[in-house]
Structure 1
Amino acid sequence: MVYKVFFLGFPLLPGEYRDVWTIESKISFRPGDGPVEADLTLPSELAGWVVLDEHFASSGFGFTVTQDETRRATWTRSELAEPATLYYKLQAYRQNPRELEQRDVPALAVPLLTADQRAAMLRLIEVLEAKSSDRTSFTQLLIRALDSRTTDPDGRFLLSTWDEDSGDVLLLTLALAEIPATALRGVRLEDGRRRQTLSTLLEIHDGERWQVFDPRTGQAGLPEDFFIWQRSEDAVLNVSGARNSRLEFALVSNSLPSRSVLAMEQRSGRYALLDFSIYALPVEQQGVFKGLLLIPVAALVVVIMRLLVGVKTSGTFMPILIAIAFIQTTLLLGLAIFLGLVAAGLWIRGWLSHMNLLLVSRISAVVIVVIFLMSALALTSYRLGLDQVLSVTFFPVIILAWTIERMSILWEEEGPHEVLVQGSGSLLVATLAYLAMSNRLASHLTFNFPELTLTLLGLILLLGKYTGYRLTELYRFRAMGDKP
């Protein structure tokens, strides 16, 4: 750690440093017939984004980068005998967030439509033009009319005639309404996300300037968590001579300053230590380890609360798994979902106890009940428009089932008071573990200095030798210290 900080220039604290995103695109395909050529559009610096560095992995392939209207990377090979994977990785940060640069308005193309499609579009355009005041309001109304839940008969007919998403229908309808529009493709930034595909925004010209809309919600403006990859309707990836091609993205964010990240990448070949760091892994695995390296922090919290404080929990490391779920759901919402699922599960488990089932069958039944409850909660919340509750899927099903089973047995043997004590203790430890894992300093240190986990191991080993009184026991036997 000292070597990294003082010799390689790694920042020790995450304060005043920029959030630098590492975005890795993975192109995979299977052998086909003839020579193989893969052509990938490379992103440009738009809307205030600055690309610090980029790397290409093309083992066994010829590789070139061409600059025309857009930059494109091309991999070539005379023949391919087995599946291949190509990588392109870039590091970027947003220096000064601003709107997209204005550009020329392209000539409108006449859309090719069937007679029924054209008639439906014209009726829909006529209705929406009567309800709108300008191109902006017309576009927002059109997005609602072509939503998957629309009740407009023409909108439902148009959606049924396309197998793809409604993006193509939007562009064709706007073209027929003589509104210049194009697709804006990019990546939605989510730390630790893997196997993500390109997302599409809608860009129209309102007569004076270009505006961006989210085709799912109709909201205007470029989202802050959107990295623009391509500003045209051309294909991002073209592969010939192969089959089953796929383009996926993995993302990870860190708080290193831009100069440190750039220096680290430039010196990765000079210092052997960096070859064995987390940064040497593919971005997809970096995102996984960014979460895994926080688990020892939560384990230390559990050890302190169990051995020094004396808090009772339902299961030794169940609070850690619940804390991991809280990171995905946020704390208050996660607590509400957990309490609701456990309460409903205990009530149903009480009915199962009258059937005198064997342990394996009973646990299996509880697992199925938990999955059913999670599905019912997700469907109900979606219908009510509470999209945040859909994060219920991040809760570990088996751990929830075992928690319900343990609490049910504890209720029968010790009574509701002991269930309340252990349940409250579990939620307290899970909350503290969540706060420790979501701390920015802890995330920064564990990711950039994974060797610090050995320090956590040493602390846990020292605490494992402690045999004195816990804080709760000192409070319990406080009367023994009173003087007569």
Structure 2
Amino acid sequence: MSRLPFYLIVALLMVAGIAMSIHRHVQFEVPWTPGEQRQVWEIEAQVIFDGNGGPAKVDMALPSSQPGFRVLTEHTASPGYGLSFLQEAGARRAEWSTREATGDQRLYYSAQVLVTDDLRKASEAPAVTKLQEVAWERPYDTAAEQVISDAWSHSSDASTFTRELISEFTDERQGENARLLLTQFDRVPLLVRLLNQAGVPAQEVSGLMLEDGRRRQSLTSWLQIYDDGRQMLFDPTTGVQGRPDNLLMWENAGQAVLEVEGGSNSRISFSMLSRNQPAAAAVRSQLAEDNDTLLNFSIHSLPLEEQALFQTILLIPIGALVVVLLRVLVGLKTSGTFMPVLIALAFIQTSLLTGLVGFLLVVATGLVIRSYLSHLNLLLVARVTAVIITVIAIISIFTVVSYRMGLNAGLTITFFPMIILSWTIERMSILWEEEGPKEVLKQGGGSLITAVLAYLAMNNPWIRHITFNFLGVQLILMAMILLLGNYTGYRLLELRRFKPVTED
């Protein structure tokens, strides 16, 4: 029979698992290793104005996720004000309103912004494709035409023209026409007017330069042009193209940053603080936000209690893989197929040393009592039930005794799976009667070795992180187990049969 379908299934599972894991790392920036740190900026905007005594409305631009930055959380503090978050022309804005604003008014907005290497997810405003109408008065019209002509003759496209135009207003190259225009207009609005007159769509945008520990900072103006399907950003003072790494675009739709109705002397200032936090915590908000997407199979969207439960459940395939490796490749015998996995889960709850001592005490005592029950000639169901009750009594007695002796670690023995322990005792007792104590020690020791190795694998911080955050790993584990299930060669422990051949 052809094995091609089998290998196709294995390959499909492996490719799907790897693809899901890589997609989750790239798309949602879930780190591969635990403890990885990410930089997060705490930014606070303070709006201050003098209320006129009547109704007031405050409209402020808000930052959006953009290349290099992702907004994680945002909060406001505005007692006595109603608050709405609006989406206008692709830009986010906050609108506060109140019926009466008298005297000094202060509104606060704070956000947590994650620094990322992600360049694909940017909630940017639609590109500016329409030219603004520009009207000049004399003699500014002649000066504007001359400045545009000089810059145009030294350029080849929209970006080089923008750089040359900005250079016309630097101190080194500033001529009479440029000085005349600057007496009537501010630099950035003037550059926007000149670019639009020259046929280059442009607008003024505002950004916040992030510097750790800075207070009472203001936004800086930048020049954004649109050419051949691309948006380009320029520093209006130096002509340098591109966005600095520490520039967070606060308003990029060409609108006012702050508009106040019913007040005067309005202003906005910013304070910021940088800190590092674990990457898993930093991206948790984003995972919950993108929960509605088809490819985001995220455990993080569940309540914390269920998350803790799944964090343990998702470790079981790791323990199962250890069992398959030891039984199929090594040839180690265990009492029950996957009993060591359940014992390893108990070790995770109790700690390894406490779990080993508790397991040996319970099984040894249970075997003694089970040997007495064998003389009563009970039916199997009744005998196993009696063993279960006995195991519960043993665990209860050990727990109380350890507590009275001040050994709090003994309290965790209750995490042992009582039904599994009862069947283990039953199987070992039957094995003792049929095969003798040597086989009991062999299978019991194999079970303990397997449980310890499974515990070491399942309790590894990196493995716990990978299995919990990348569900595609489960498909990879399935593919590996299927491949191991196809193995029909010798086990390592069977090779000792060939030792006499090597000696000869």
Q: TM-score, normalised by structure 1?
A: 0.50
Larger Rg: 2
What TM-score do the two structures reach when normalised by structure 2?
A: 0.48
